[in-house]
Amino acid sequence: MKRLIILLTTLLCITSCKISEKPEFLRVEHIEVTESNSKTFTISAHAVFMNPNIIGGKLKTDEIKVFVNDNEMASVSTKTFDIPSEKEFSIPLTAHIPKDSIFSDKNLGSLLGSLFSKKIKVQYRGDIKYKVFGYSDTYTIDKTETIKIK
């Protein structure tokens, strides 16, 4: 009898959960150059979400392209993130860009303009995948921001 009550309670909880409602993508924020050394620039951002569900899920980024001054420079692929239930959360989007790719012939014109203005245009473009129990969905990211370089 106890097993039947536990089974019915568990079944009721699972069926009453909003598992088909995906977390809401809010924004991409804090795009900035976080590190610069002799070999690479590190550009980071945060994708912010709100999960209204009482259950979590998983998010995975695959091949989000990073463009600097309209030239593709890197891609971001991260580990799978566990989604917290019923709260706002963010996932980091960090790209390491080799300096030699910025100083190539095809980027020379935009690089000279950036050096004089001390600003670069950074764009994140790609998909973030959401999965929970058999349900999956995709968020399309396309955020451009002009940031100051130090």
Task: Please state, in angstroms and rounded to a whole number, the distance separating the CA atoms of residues 97 and 6.
Answer: 53
Give the list of residues 6+ apart from residue 78 with CB closer than 8 angstroms, or none: 60, 61, 91, 92, 93, 94
- What was the pLDDT predicted at 48? 94
Mean pLDDT of 64-92: 88
The residue to which tokens 């009550």 are assigned: 5
- What are the tens digits of pLDDT across the range 121-131? 889 999 999 88
Share of the chain above pLDDT 90, in %: 23
Mean pLDDT of the chain: 79
pLDDT of residue 112 exceeding 70, the answer is no
Amino acid at 93: L
- What was the pLDDT predicted at 125? 94
- What are the tens digits of pLDDT across the range 89-109? 999 999 888 877 665 555 555
- What was the pLDDT predicted at 15? 54
- What was the pLDDT predicted at 77? 76
- What was the pLDDT predicted at 120? 80
Query: Are the C-beta atoms of 129 and 13 separated by less than 8 Å?
Result: no
